[in-house]
Amino acid sequence: MTAPWSCILFDLDGTIVDSAPGITASLAWTLEQLGRPVPSPAQLLEWVGPPILDSFRDREGMNLEEAEHALDTYRPHYLANGAFDSTMYPGVGQLIRDLGRSPIPLSLATSKPESLATVMLEHFDLADSFDFLTGASEDEVRSSKADVVEEALRRIRAAGHDASKPVLVGDRHYDVLGAAEHGVPTIFVEWGYGSPAEAVGTVASVKTAAELEKLLLG
């Protein structure tokens, strides 16, 4: 059976791994260090998905200098204490390994900094299953999902692969909207951090890794 997609892009947080505990704990620590009130756990969970720099600006009302200082405070703490406070969702690791053995190009597409995302995937022994590891640039110039998707597609094409029928797998409306800017459809995973309303505009919604595998490999 012919696979329905020519290349596959995967979000990381909320799609491959449940990384919220480490992210929210590090955010709470960062805001404490900055002398700011710490939002409720439910409010902190809303930070998971979009670029952290944007959230410091949009949710905390910081200017660019303040947001960059907050990010510089957050990152070392998260790398040392939170990056590995995460677990893979059931079946997803095996699915990615199966995809890695298929002829379909597989790329990460995350708003997490590329170097940090790579370290996390290496920790879970998944990095080698991806043909491309695309994330935010270290300076956050490339951090929106649309920018990351654009870069992932550029790398796929530059390597000589077919990117005419791409698909993104994600869990938030940021994924859906960012992919749509480049005409890329999204498959929504219900085990992530997004609410059911965030699945609007997707081509499919799945509850399990087994359901996802059928849609990706045909």
CATH class name, domain 20-82: mainly alpha
Task: Yes or no: say if 11 and 188 are a contact pair by the CB < 8 Å rule.
Answer: no
pLDDT of residue 1: 40
To the nearest 10°, the Cα dihedral for 117, 122, 89, 203? 50
Show me where the domains of the chain are located: 7-18+86-217, 20-82
What is the C-alpha separation between 82 and 218, in angstroms, rounded? 36
Q: Which residues pair with 170 in a beta bridge?
A: 188
pLDDT of residue 49: 82
Other beta carbons within 10 angstroms of residue 5's beta carbon come to: 20
Tokens, residue 16: 């491959």
Q: What are the phi and psi torsion angles at 136 (to 5°)?
A: -70, 150
Residues of the chain falling short of pLDDT 70: 1-2
pLDDT, one tens digit per residue, over 15-65 is: 999 999 999 999 999 999 999 999 999 999 999 888 898 899 999 999 999
Fold of 7-18+86-217: Rossmann fold (3.40.50)
Task: Yes or no: say if 167 and 186 are a contact pair by the CB < 8 Å rule.
Answer: yes
* Single-letter code of the amino acid located at 107: S
139 contact partners, CB below 8 Å, separation of at least 6: none
